[in-house]
């Protein structure tokens, strides 16, 4: 079996790596081609070009790179059409991936297209499912309420579980060691600061997050802050935080990140799947996010839900406070952080919502990567 996979950002690379491991377990003779990052490379993929070229988000952010992305779309589509793999698996990043799938079919690719991560049609742009169905045959969904939306548009779809339920977590001794190593007193509040994994997100959110945390420090002087970061933005984070009045702890190593999550009392995070990582570690959170003005305006007009935080959506609660767009302001974020630190009741409500979320995302079942691989193999066998 030959499979061509495309991932466009770090989260997709993790999904792709776990999927490739599952496929290899089920089909030992499988071979891979495509685009991915370190997780997929570790499973045997030789990426056609660096995945981080695709890690852009938002209409205003994409426009300056449009011509380059268009060239990469054409280049990737040609590779698919010439290789004629048994399946093209596109992973998240729909603006790039689905254009590649469409172009590959126009160039003569005759195999099936499987898309991993259903688009958020329940949140905004519901018409995307119908457009996607023109090029996608099968969908692997991360959230339990997504299959009906995909099936209604004409695609088959399996809920395969969210990868967060299978991720390794630190234990209390590692959390204690982290605090000791960084001279954090056992009773000192430790806040995770997570301003995103893309350069645009970090440049936009980090200054507001810092201002909010300064306000919290004014009330709680012993407060410490830790920022887990990723390779694509680590240098930027280090440069920005040198100017912060109180230097945060910046960690890049995976084991240190896990320990930081387990050691923290609270988190201030950008909107996205990080809310599920926090939920898996039982860390109460405040979510804040903003985009470039044009992207904010357009998405605000199209948004169909009253929350974008996945913990709120999966648990069917509104336990996690969020501050989006024009409400992404340091003053209100700081007050919400203080409120959560000082309110056992609100932390307990979040703890309950986070536990329910993990249960509904597949905790305790087969690893999502293996479930996704089985869905792919079953779909291809039925198609054959």
144 and 239 share one domain: no
Please state, in angstroms and rounded to a whole number, the distance separating the CA atoms of residues 124 and 142.
17
Query: 299 lies in a domain?
Result: yes
CA 212 vs. chain centroid, Å, equals 24
Could you tell me if 156 and 126 are in contact, meaning their C-beta atoms sit under 8 angstroms apart? Answer: no
Q: Is 174 helix (H, G, I), strand (E, B) or coil?
A: helix
* Cα 152-155-160 angle, rounded to 5 deg: 100
- Identify the segments of the chain with pLDDT beneath 70: 55-64, 122-125, 245-246, 294-304
pLDDT at position 64: 60
pLDDT at position 233: 81
141 and 201 share one domain: no
pLDDT at position 55: 64
213 and 311 share one domain: yes
Query: 166 lies in a domain?
Result: no
| Per-residue pLDDT tens digits for 165-191 | 999 999 999 999 999 999 999 999 999
pLDDT at position 273: 86
* Cα 197-362-140 angle, rounded to 5 deg: 65
Per the structure, the count of domains in the chain is 2
CATH number, position 91: 3.40.50.2000
Query: 24 lies in a domain?
Result: yes
SS (H, E, C) the chain: CEEEEEECCHHHHHHHHHHHHHHHHHCCCCEEEEECCHHHHHCCCCCCCCHHHHCCCCHHHHHHHHHHHHHHHHHHHHHHHHHCCCEEEEECCHHHHHHHHHHHHHCCCCCCEEEECCCCCCCECCCHHHHHCCCCCEEEECCCCCHHHHHHCCCEEEECCCHHHHCCCCCHHHHHHHHHHCCCCCCCCEEEEECCCCHHHHHHHHHHHHHHHHHHHHHCCCCEEEEECCHHHHHHHHHHHCCCCCCCEEECCHHHHHHHHHHCCEEEEECCCHHHHHHHCCCCEEEEECCCHHHHHHHHHHECCCCCCHHHHHHCCCCCCEEEHHHCCHHHHHHHHHHHHHCHHHHHHHHHHHHHHHHHCCCCCCCHHHHHHHHHHHHHHHHC
Query: 232 lies in a domain?
Result: yes
Placement of tokens 């305790």 in the chain:
364
Q: Are strands 266-270 and 190-194 parallel, antiparallel or unpaired?
A: parallel
pLDDT at position 57: 45
> What token pair was written down for 182?
């960084």
| Per-residue pLDDT tens digits for 29-87 | 999 999 999 999 999 999 999 998 886 544 445 556 778 888 999 999 999 999 999 99
pTM: 0.82
Query: 167 lies in a domain?
Result: no
210 and 72 share one domain: no
236 and 291 share one domain: yes
Q: Which domain holds residue 327?
A: 172-360
271 and 332 share one domain: yes
């Amino acid at each position: 079996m030959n499979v061509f996979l495309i991932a466009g950002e770090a989260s997709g690379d993790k999904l792709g790596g776990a999927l490739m491991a599952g496929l290899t377990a089920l089909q030992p003779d499988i071979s891979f081609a495509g685009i991915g990052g370190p997780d997929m490379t570790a499973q045997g993929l030789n990426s056609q070009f660096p995945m981080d070229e695709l890690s852009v988000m938002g209409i205003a952010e994409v426009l300056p790179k449009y011509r380059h992305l268009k060239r990469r779309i054409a280049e990737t589509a040609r590779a698919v059409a010439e290789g004629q793999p048994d399946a093209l698996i596109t992973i998240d990043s729909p603006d790039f991936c689905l254009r590649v799938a469409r172009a590959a079919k126009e160039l003569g690719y005759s195999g099936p297209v499987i898309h991993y991560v259903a688009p958020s049609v329940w949140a905004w742009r519901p018409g995307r499912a119908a457009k996607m169905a023109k090029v996608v045959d099968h969908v692997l969904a991360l959230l339990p309420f997504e299959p009906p939306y995909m099936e209604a548009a004409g695609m088959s779809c399996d809920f395969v579980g969210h990868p967060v339920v299978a991720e390794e977590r630190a234990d209390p001794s590692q959390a204690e060691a982290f605090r000791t190593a960084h001279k954090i007193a056992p009773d000192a509040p430790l806040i995770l600061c997570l301003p995103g994994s893309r350069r645009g997100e970090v440049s936009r959110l980090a200054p507001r997050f810092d201002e909010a945390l300064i306000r919290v420090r004014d009330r709680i002087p012993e407060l410490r802050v830790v920022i887990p970061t990723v390779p694509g933005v680590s240098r930027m984070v280090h440069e920005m935080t040198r100017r912060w009045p109180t230097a945060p702890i910046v960690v890049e190593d995976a084991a240190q990140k896990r320990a930081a999550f387990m050691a923290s009392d609270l988190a201030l995070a950008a909107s996205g799947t990080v809310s599920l990582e926090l939920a898996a570690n039982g860390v109460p959170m405040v979510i804040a996010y903003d985009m470039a003005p044009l992207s904010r305006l357009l998405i605000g007009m199209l948004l169909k839900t009253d929350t974008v935080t996945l913990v709120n959506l999966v648990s069917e609660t509104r336990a996690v406070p969020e501050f989006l767009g024009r409400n992404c302001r340091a003053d209100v974020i700081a007050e919400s952080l203080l409120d959560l630190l000082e309110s056992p009741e609100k932390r307990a409500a979040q703890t309950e919502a986070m536990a329910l979320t993990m249960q509904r995302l597949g905790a305790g079942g087969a690893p999502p990567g293996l479930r996704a691989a089985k869905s792919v193999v079953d779909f291809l066998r039925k198609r054959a």
